[in-house]
Amino acid sequence: MSESKKWDWDTSEELIATPSEWKTKFARVQEPYVSPDGKKVAAIARNEDGTYTACVNGEAWENTYENMWNLRFGPDGRLTAIVSEAGEWTLAVDGVPWENKFAYVWDTKFNEDGQTIAVKIQQDTRYGLAVNDQPWENLFEHIGKYVMTPDGQYMAAAVQAVPLGQAEVFKFKDEGTWTVAVNGNAWEKIFTNVWGLDCSPDGKHVAAEVRMGLYDYTIAMDGEMWPEKFNCVWEPVFRPKTSEALATAPVRAAGKWTLAVNGKPVWDSKFVQCWHQTYSPDGRKLAAIVAPSFGQWTVAIDGKLWATTFNELVTDLTFSPDGNRLAAIAKDDGHWKIVVDGTPWPAMYDMVWPPVFSPDGSKVASKVEKGGKYTIALNGKPWRECEALWNPVFSPDGKKVLVRCIEDGKYYRRIVPISEF
Amino acid sequence: MAVPATKLKEKKEIIDVGLEEGAARLTYERIEQVINRVITAEMAARMKVYVDTCIHCGLCSTACHYYLSHGTPEWAPVGKVKQTMWEILEKKGKVSPEFIKRASIIASTECNVCRRCSMYCPYGIDVAYIMATVRRICHLLGVTPQYIQDTAHSHSATMNQMWVKEDEWIDTLQWQEGEAQAEMPSLRIALDKEGADIMYSVIGPEPKFRAQLIYQAAILMTAAGVDWTMPASPGWDNSDMAMFTGDFEMMGRIKRTHFETAAKLRVKKIVMGECGHAFRSVYDVGNRWLGWKMPPIPVIHATQFYYELLKEGKIKIARKLKEPVTLHDPCNIVRGRGLHEMMRYLVNATCENFVEMYPNREQNHCCCAGGGVINCGPPWKTKRVESNSIKAEQLAATGVHICIAPCHNCHGGLEDIINTYKLNMHTMFFIDVLMKTMEIPDALKA
């Protein structure tokens, strides 16, 4: 949001480039990606000589590479791609490769402002992270999921710290081989498994879902397990805007799921399923996707259910910035829907993308697809159809929407007043 | 063709460290506690119905390839239930560690949970459910064959069944893409392409041992003009041996990863490779443990996908295979999903001379590899092959040299049978047949 204040919110239409013409410049061109501010459109392109480059607004990067994949813009508008040269891999940022090269590189992540970029690396069959071109000092047997704090100062990853031989089943389950590494430094405690994890916003605490042996699931925070053990758990999140370290996770006991904070249940309700718990930005409300009965899905806010249920899927739970409203994607009888505060929009789609709230929370917009055409729907009302489209962005005053779209092979950056929806 | 050997003389003792060590750690108290917890907290009402309903008629016997191959009552489905669940229930869990070891052997290596016997039972008793519950008890007691337990550990650590590391997976896809581009320059295995129509998912052995299947799938997708992607993160493997060890919590985690990967990519459909047990896990068992009545993102097996491509004219057959072929109906996609007529359409569309094996369709004999039995590893291989001489007889009777089997475990099991009984056959996946018969548009050729 702070970054978007600097963007151009006045030019109603800007033809940025014509990606459909790039096919004449290169042997092959892949699908396009656009920058958050909409000023750049880029695609991986293959030259006639078999080398790869990125084409940005019609101009190729100066450097070419043996291979290239995972083209992604960061929040600050820099363009990254994973590239290989002479059999080694690294990350290229705006066309310039990092100095450090590795046997393999994957899973690019950015912090909130995009100034910190991390990737997983493998070198000499040892695994870890490289952050802004600096590999972790300690590498491990393998690496699983990783997260970083919004300021990009802390990274936490599930890592396999102990080697394991073939079919060593008792060592795996009795002694454990996995732990958590924070900025490359592993916890002392070793677990059988470590999966999803979260950093507290200030980076002082890390919580992870772990299994000890084959049956005891719990959350470990800063290397210490909750005393409570469960039949199963899902990944924890920290409550924001508090000085306390409050790790919150779905836990399963006696065949039912609920939410626990630091090991203690916080909701009286129990569910067939409960996951993707999310705090409102101010940390005061807690919501989760739940199945109150088999095959029926909805959202619970502070333990209270939406009145409507959906029979296939609920996903992408999103709080408004003020925390007063909640939206999600639902699938019911084969149709995709946007649901806001428990009420689905009347229209049904072939696919929908995560809903976006206006800064004051009064409006919701979403990219939607029907019959192979894409549009933005705002509070359920569709804009015009496009060949391709990216997620909408509200202006800081909430009166306009940045629409990044391709029409007739041309990529446009448009600023659309909400009155046009 | 050689005539298959028949009838094992006696059961040989097989040493499996997972069972020996696991049983050695047990106490009577723990066994009783775990069993009674499963009985009171996990067993569905249908277990009681099954136990109360069975009239001990033995009609299930002739449904079972173990019984048909060995010929003695302990191999019959009802015999296996008698030796395990009836005893467990009758003694209210007061059974010995040795009993649990034996129960694990029966449930994990003498039953493929293929569900053929359910069709022969006058009451439709689901013996596979009973055997799966025995496996669940054995899992909770830590008495599971070593190799399948190791596979379940692989699932837990990597979300795939072959300890394939994340970089190895992506590297394999890029390797296959590069190879295939020599044949079809415009081909691309798009990684993490959000909004593609289809996510294609495979099982761990494909990148590990059968990478050519990924190559072939890429050729097919490109020829058909399909908008598809493969995930560059865990969630690409649709298989699930945890389902077969009874580690249902891990099964759920694996399936959640698979479906949430597809949901994150905003695909409309998942197409999975030619694997039977994986289909059972995504379509029937794992999704339901999580609370989804049906898969939240539609999943179709590769054979249905090929069928639809052919029917819609998206791929065309340029030439048919001339050699006679037969077709093995995999349990999980035939008894479990009813894809047998689509498969026959595929065979007839691609092969000039189709010889049915008998029995066939939902009556077909299991390969004896599925249900996690082949995953119990080398110690159990001889027993597994000797326990399916009936399959060897069935294959030999076709008189053909090619057996199409659209399932990975079936492939492994049938190849072992073919080699052991010297049947002079080889197996093919449907994708192998399509690669030999499909028309490749000139515009796509190198």
CATH number at residue A243: 2.130.10.150
Nearest CA in chain A to B376: A167
- How many CB atoms sit inside 10 A of residue B92's CB? 11
Taking an 8 Å cut-off on Cβ atoms, the answer to whether B188 and A30 are in contact is yes
Q: Tens digit of pLDDT per residue, chain B (446 long)? A: 333 344 445 557 899 999 999 999 999 999 999 999 999 999 989 999 999 999 999 999 999 999 999 999 999 999 999 999 999 999 999 999 999 999 999 999 999 999 999 999 999 999 999 999 999 999 999 999 999 999 999 999 999 999 999 999 999 999 999 999 999 999 999 999 999 999 999 999 999 999 999 999 999 999 999 999 999 999 999 999 999 999 999 999 999 999 999 999 999 999 999 999 999 999 999 999 999 999 999 999 999 999 999 999 999 999 999 999 999 999 999 999 999 999 999 999 999 999 999 999 999 999 999 999 999 999 999 999 999 999 999 999 999 999 999 999 999 999 999 999 999 999 999 999 999 999 999 999 99
Interface touch B170/A106, C-beta < 8 Å: yes
A120 plus A214 within the same structural domain: no
B113-164 pLDDT tens trace? 999 999 999 999 999 999 999 999 999 999 999 999 999 999 999 999 999 9
Residues A130 and A33 in one domain: yes
Which pLDDT belongs to residue B13? 87
So what's the pLDDT on residue B10? 55
Instruction: Identify the CATH number of the domain defined by range B325-437.
Output: 3.40.50
Q: Does A160 touch chain B (CB under 8 A)?
A: yes
Contact B146 A195 (CB under 8 A): no
Q: Cite the residue boundaries of each domain of chain B with CATH code 3.40.50.
A: 325-437
Q: How many CB pairs under 8 A join A and B?
A: 106
On whether any CB of chain B is under 8 Å from the CB of A48, the answer is: no
Q: Mind listing the pLDDT tens digit for each residue in A139-148?
A: 999 999 999 9
Q: Do A103 and B167 touch (CB under 8 A)?
A: yes
Apex CA A68: angle with CA A67 and CA A71, to 5°?
Answer: 175
Domain stop point among A93, A123, A139 = A139
Q: Which of A120, A173, A195 sits opposite B166 (nearest CB)?
A: A120
Looking at the structure, tell me whether residues A226 and A128 fall in a common domain.
Answer: no
Q: Are the beta carbons of A232 and B249 separated by less than 8 Å?
A: yes
Residues of B in contact with A313 (CB under 8 A): 263, 292, 296-297
| Residue listed under structure tokens 């972790």 | A136
Domain total for chain A? 2
Residues A41 and A98 in one domain: yes
- Roughly how many angstroms between the first and final C-alpha of chain A, as a whole number? 22
Q: Is the dihedral of CA B254, B255, B256, B257 positive or negative?
A: positive
- How far apart are alpha carbons A309 and A296 in whole angstroms? 6
Judge: A160–B174 Cβ closer than 8 Å, yes or no: no
For residue A315, the chain B residues in CB contact (below 8 A) are 260, 263
Residues lower than pLDDT 70 in chain A: 1-2
| Residue ranges matching CATH 1.10.1060.10 in chain B | 17-144
Topology of domain B17-144 in CATH is Fumarate Reductase Iron-sulfur Protein; Chain B, domain 2 (1.10.1060)
Q: Do A28 and B192 touch (CB under 8 A)?
A: no
With residue A120 as reference, give the H or E element that holds it. Answer: strand A117-123
Judging contacts by C-beta atoms under 8 Å, the chain A residues touching residue B249 are: 217, 231-232, 252
Q: Based on the fold, state whether residues A147 and A249 are members of the same structural domain.
A: yes
Interface contact B249-A217, CB threshold 8 A: yes
B42, B153, B167 member nearest A169 (Cβ): B153
Q: A304 lies in a domain?
A: no
Based on the domain organization, do A152 and A259 belong to the same domain?
Answer: yes
- pLDDT value of position B44: 83
Structure confidence at residue B5 (pLDDT):
42
A187 and A229 inside one domain: yes
A369/B290 CB distance under 8 A: no
Output the CA angle B77-B92-A257, nearest 5 degrees: 90
Chain A CB contacts of B266 below 8 Å: 351, 353
ipTM given for this complex: 0.98
Q: How far is B108 from chain A (nearest CA, A)?
A: 17
Cβ atoms of residues A235 and A259 within 8 Å: no
A151/A107 same-domain check: no
Of A167, A193, A291, the CB nearest to B157: A193
Tell me whether A169 touches chain B (CB under 8 Å).
Answer: yes
| Inter-chain touch B170–A104, beta carbons under 8 Å | yes
Buried b (16+ CB within 10 A) or exposed e, B131-155: bbbbbbbbbbbbbbbbbbbbbbbbb
Q: Which two tokens stand for residue B222?
A: 């490109």
Tell me which of A51, A83, A214, A270 to substitute to probe the interface with B (most B C-beta atoms closer than 10 Å): A214
pLDDT at B261: 98
Are A172 and B153 inside 8 Å of each other by CB?
A: yes
Whether residue A371 lies within 8 A of chain B, CB to CB, comes out as: no
Q: How far is A324 from chain B (nearest CA, A)?
A: 25
Q: Which residues of chain A neighbour B195 with C-beta distances below 8 Å?
A: 351, 369
Query: Which of B190, B256, B291 is facing A295, going by the closest CB pair?
Result: B291
For A198-262, the DSSP string reads EE-TTSS-EEEEEEETTTEEEEEETTEE-S--BSEE---EEPSS-SS--EEEEEEETTEEEEEET
Judge: A169–B149 Cβ closer than 8 Å, yes or no: yes
CA distances B7 to B67, B277, B358, B410, Å, are: 10, 28, 20, 22
Question: Which one of B167, B195, B293 has the shortest CB-CB distance to A311?
Answer: B293
- Among A139, A155, A184, the domain-final residue is A139
**Closest B-chain CA to A289:** B291
Residue A193 near chain B (CB below 8 Å): yes
- Evaluate whether B53 touches B70 at the Cβ level (below 8 Å): no
Q: Which of B38, B160, B166 to mutate to test the interface with A (most CBs of A within 10 A)?
A: B166
Q: In whole angstroms, what separates CA A230 from the centre of its chain?
A: 27
Where a domain ends, among A94, A117, A139? A139
Q: Identify whether A74 is part of a domain.
A: yes
**Confidence at residue B4, expressed as pLDDT on a 0 to 100 scale:** 39
Residue A357 identity (one-letter amino acid): F
Residue A371 lies in a domain: no
Q: Which residues of B touch A334 (CB under 8 A)?
A: 298
Q: Which domain holds residue A255?
A: 141-266
Residue A180 lies in a domain: yes
Burial of B400 (0-12, 13-18, 19+ CB in 10 A): buried
